[in-house]
């Protein structure tokens, strides 16, 4: 596969991380592989904790010219100098986020396996649409975003698309021709060596 045809890597943080150690771990991953964007997928409702985590990750990412978005938290994106937001409920808040953050901000939307929601998000002005999970997961409804969804989207829609959730080397190989970004998070952070785990995952397109 020609390098210009390879999907870019869209890195997703764990829902919680240790501020004393995770930035160094993140830096090693960003230094080892070209990353297009970092998404802060932080759980909980403690604004102070999320803000400190956002600051720590932003410093590491921006030093390497990697854009940073955060799940849902428009105010934290603004206050902490992030590049935009990733909305986890489809198209519903895309216009509101764009109005709040401005034309230059990144606004992305996760649309599960729904072609309709993806089209609605794109029409509302999303910069990208994410579909998933693409692999096996015990979370959510169990509905998967199948390769034919990405095939159709790439053929018919100009809005960039992210494939995420339960990626395996086999799915990377299958989806690489029909997605713009591979959203990778839990697949590597649960490993003792995230850099090695990422390289194994991406071996089919190396």
How does pLDDT run across 87-120, given as a tens digit for each residue?
999 999 999 999 999 999 999 999 999 999 999 9
| Domains assigned to the chain | 3-205 (3.20.20.70)
pLDDT at 5: 73
**Residue 4, pLDDT above cutoff 70:** no
Rounded CA-CA distance 17/14 in Å is 6
| Portion of the chain with pLDDT greater than 70, in percent | 97
Q: What is the pLDDT of residues 54-93, one digit of tens each?
A: 999 999 999 999 999 999 999 999 999 999 999 999 999 9
pLDDT at 1: 31
Strand partners, 106: 84
The 10 Å Cβ neighbour count of residue 81 is 13
Band the pLDDT of 191: cuts 50, 70, 90. very high
**Residue 14, pLDDT above cutoff 70:** yes
Q: Does an H or E element contain 76, and which?
A: helix 74-79
Mean pLDDT lowest among 4-13, 41-50, 53-62, 131-140: 131-140
* Structure letter (DSSP) for residue 58: H
What is the mean pLDDT of the segment spanning 127-144?
A: 87
| Portion of the chain with pLDDT greater than 90, in percent | 93
What residues contact residue 109 under an 8 Å CB cut-off, 6+ apart?
Answer: 86, 87, 90, 91, 94, 117, 118, 121, 124, 126, 128, 129, 130
**Residue 3, pLDDT above cutoff 70:** no
The pTM score is 0.95
Contact 38, 64 (CB under 8 A): no
pLDDT at 142: 73
* Structure letter (DSSP) for residue 169: H
pLDDT at 2: 35
| Mean of pLDDT over the chain | 95
Side-chain half-sphere of 80: how many Cα atoms within 13 Å?
27
């Amino acid at each position: 596969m020609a390098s210009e045809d390879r999907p870019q890597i869209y890195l997703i943080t764990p829902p919680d991380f240790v501020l004393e150690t995770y930035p160094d771990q993140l830096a090693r991953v960003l230094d080892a592989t070209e990353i297009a964007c970092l998404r802060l997928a932080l759980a909980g409702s403690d604004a102070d904790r999320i803000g400190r985590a956002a600051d720590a990750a932003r410093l590491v990412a921006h030093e390497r010219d990697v854009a940073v978005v955060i799940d849902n938290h428009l105010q934290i994106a603004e206050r902490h100098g992030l590049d935009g937001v990733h909305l986890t409920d489809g198209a519903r808040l895309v216009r509101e986020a764009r109005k709040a953050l401005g034309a230059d901000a990144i606004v992305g939307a996760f649309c599960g396996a729904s072609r309709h929601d993806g089209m609605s998000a794109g029409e509302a002005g999303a910069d990208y649409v994410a579909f998933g999970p693409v692999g096996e997961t015990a979370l959510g409804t169990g509905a998967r975003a199948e390769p034919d969804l990405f095939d159709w989207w790439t053929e018919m829609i100009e809005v960039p698309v992210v494939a995420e959730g339960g990626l395996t080397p086999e799915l990377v190989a299958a989806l690489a021709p029909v997605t713009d970004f591979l959203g990778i998070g839990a697949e590597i952070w649960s490993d003792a060596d995230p850099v090695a785990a990422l390289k194994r995952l991406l071996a089919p397109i190396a």
